[in-house]
Structure 1
């Protein structure tokens, strides 16, 4: 048994022992005053069950009932032990026992409330004083009923408090479970975001490297002195891909969340450099001036252009030409990437690139369409609504129309 429960049990036993001793002293004093030894023996039988009223309630009720019947049989005067002990036992059973046993104890006490006064008022063949009898019955009934009601009310109050505690514990458990599910969902979202970033970076960089390598091989045969430029472009693209990959994966290193180095995210202003580095057959045209934008909008626009150009390199062939149109309207950034088809097949849309672009744009409640062009090639159109930054008042000028 745990120490706390043992302490409570010992404390309750000390209370019951003290109560039993006090009632016994009162009963013996009353018995000596009236001069009936048989009533004293019956009083001991009535008071002793108080010692086990918590641990063995049914046995205590049976023994006390027998003691009260014995007192009625051997004496015609009221039993002080019964007057005190019976309400105490009725209260105890109503407070800590089951409903059935509590009601049984109350019913027995109600019967005793009639039998006791009838025995005390009985003088010879008839009741000597009907008024004393009625007053005694009402008083005894009121005492035992009050003890039962008080005990049940306290029991119900404790049960209600216990149910409330269990309900609160369940609510806390559900809240913790909900928070845990939200944390898992946030983790999954973060992993998906990182997967999209890695896909965009690696796919674009490798496509550029492959195109530059193939072009460099042909260029080295005709103009060996220019091979160094191609190799430099390949090296620069590889370094940039490694830098961005390290930056994104740094957050996944255990224990380094606070120390991961984050570089600035690319945005609208970086699209011109992206087009320039990707291929000399790609053209960029811009319209309008972008207002202050949330970084996520600029990053989404950058990734849409990046993935679209990657698809041109992968599916339209090294000789394909592409045109990027970037327009800032009153409420959105609009992007159109068109290629002439080159010598390769049109993408089938079964890869992760188009799906990733659509997911990015949908996060901003935008729209993205992709499909074959009216005269061949492939067209990607995206519309990304603005999410403006309130803490900036300057405008972000777009690069002027450039053809590479």
Structure 2
């Protein structure tokens, strides 16, 4: 690990989990259909208690959006249904929520072009021809939707500002959001609501790291939205898109006030700028390096809380071509404490198991199976079990309000980066006993 990354270390457990008490079953719902996808672990599917069905979404060939339905009463999966075009770009993955009126909504940020929404024709059902809506032509990528208790829908997305104004450097890419209070019929932007140019971002860093990559966004029962993110940009080489990654940050968002806050509770108002993030939100400082052609830190992080205190899981590449380094950062109430907990893993998703324990879903590059670990008190790390899969898994998303056996969606890794090739499996895992 680079000496520039000043983090306390502890003994590193093996990345290989062993069979534990959790008994998972895995069902392959579609074979040789998944294309490479850049989807974040946000809004992969929902469980609809009213009709006893789970709806999932995933990216198929050419990144087209597909949905499937699991009927818990009949224990059957529907065939995949193609609902929207993905324009052959791995950024254009589907994310799914359910509106308060029961309709399913699938969002796609058509890479650097516009934010689109597909709406199911009937409430509580994925069947039929979905209605397509362009929410706005806002150079959107990476949609991250959630629905609050009162039914308000938020979709965070990243704007490629240079595609709206050619005078803006290519590595200026802030986060914004749109809001709907009528089940997705009409929308307002964060700028409409707050007057701020963006929600999270910067425009004039000396290192040109003005791109925001949210790794995960999580709506809690408390109503708070936890967010972990890293920066990207050209570094000191000049304006280059996604040349380097740097640093880890944490904030939380209050949908009621549209304000952001630090882990200590400092009110940052309706917009986070560079001064805010460097003064109050930084979890860890990482160097501007290009280790082994791996962006470092990675694009995806996981964020959770234990007894109200946040923690973040993240990983970096190794500058000496070694394994990935996995870190757990925990807010103590006064500061962030970071330690290395494993090596060689890509942490994909987390879920709360109890008020004090979270389950981590992770994979090893090029290998089948999903490995699970337990984080207790936001501090300890232990191996739990191995969930067998026939092929390597690229993405994991825990279903909102899941009901076993449809707990977590496993999108199989395609053998090619070209989204014209779709040969990964779609599987769903759940506990075999409740």
TM range (shorter): under 0.3
Higher helix share: 1
The one of the two structures with greater contact order (alpha-carbon pairs below 8 A, sep at least 6) is 2
Higher strand share: 2
> Whose radius of gyration is greater, 1 or 2?
1
